[in-house]
Amino acid sequence: MAAPGVFLSLALCALLAHQIQAKNEAPCQASKWNNGFRTFLKRHIRSGTPGSLDQNQWEAYIRNNGGCDRPTQSFIHPDELDRVKAVCSSQGGKVFKENLCISRQPFSFVTVRSEPGTCGIRSIREETKHLILACEVLENQCLPVHFEGNPQNLKPSNNARGCQDPQTTGRASSLKMTWLWLLCVLPIAIYGY
């Protein structure tokens, strides 16, 4: 009779652990997604993007290069690649929350909003804002893997630590996992099932 209770408890703990591990709790921790940086580049720092805000050019570009399924897309000029990567460092970014860093300096980029599935363009706007990026370690380098929107035009906090500050990396998720496993094992130890 005790076996089903143990199995259920362990299955629940495994499910919770998997959900917690899906996203890092701090920037610059090991990535769980090997293609994160390549996907980031493919979505946000593409060569050949239109040099104007012409709706027809952007519609053709998105239709020919993929992205009709994404209702909001932001494109940064390829010349900015080194600055974008620097957001995931202490020099270029500060910790925003969880695994997100916010750039110390604003960036200019183009945001295209379209009708999902149709490639029909609703709006094209050049924006200048601080970038909010998810930063994770791939091949021993902390790199951006996700572009987070910044609709409130937030800026970095003066009190925030640098993005790749040793105090911000590696601790949060391991501490959370320790408590999770303790909570999962405790009922088994107490009730003996």
Structure pTM? 0.75
Do 100 and 153 have their domain in common? yes
Least confident piece of the model among 42-56, 116-130, 179-193: 179-193
Do 38 and 20 have their domain in common? no
Do 106 and 189 have their domain in common? no
- Chain center to CA of 174: 19
Give the three-state DSSP class for 102.
strand
Residue 10 confidence (pLDDT) above 60? no
Do 113 and 94 have their domain in common? yes
Tell me which DSSP letter residue 91 carries.
T
Q: 105-152: per-residue pLDDT in tens?
A: 999 999 999 988 788 999 999 999 999 999 999 989 999 999 999 999
For residue 191, CA distances in Å to 2, 6, 16, 178 come to 10, 10, 21, 20
Q: 60-100: per-residue pLDDT in tens?
A: 999 999 888 999 999 999 999 999 999 999 999 999 999 99
Residue 24 confidence (pLDDT) above 80? yes
Do 94 and 182 have their domain in common? no
Whose tokens are 């003996």? That residue is 192
Per the model's pLDDT, the better-predicted residue between 8 and 110 turns out to be 110
Range of the domain at 67: 32-162
pLDDT value of residue 14: 43
The CATH number covering residue 125 comes to: 3.10.130.10
The domain total for the chain is 2
Measured distance CA(144)–CA(135) in Å, rounded: 4
Residue 15 confidence (pLDDT) above 80? no
Four-residue CA torsion sign, 42, 44, 45, 51: positive
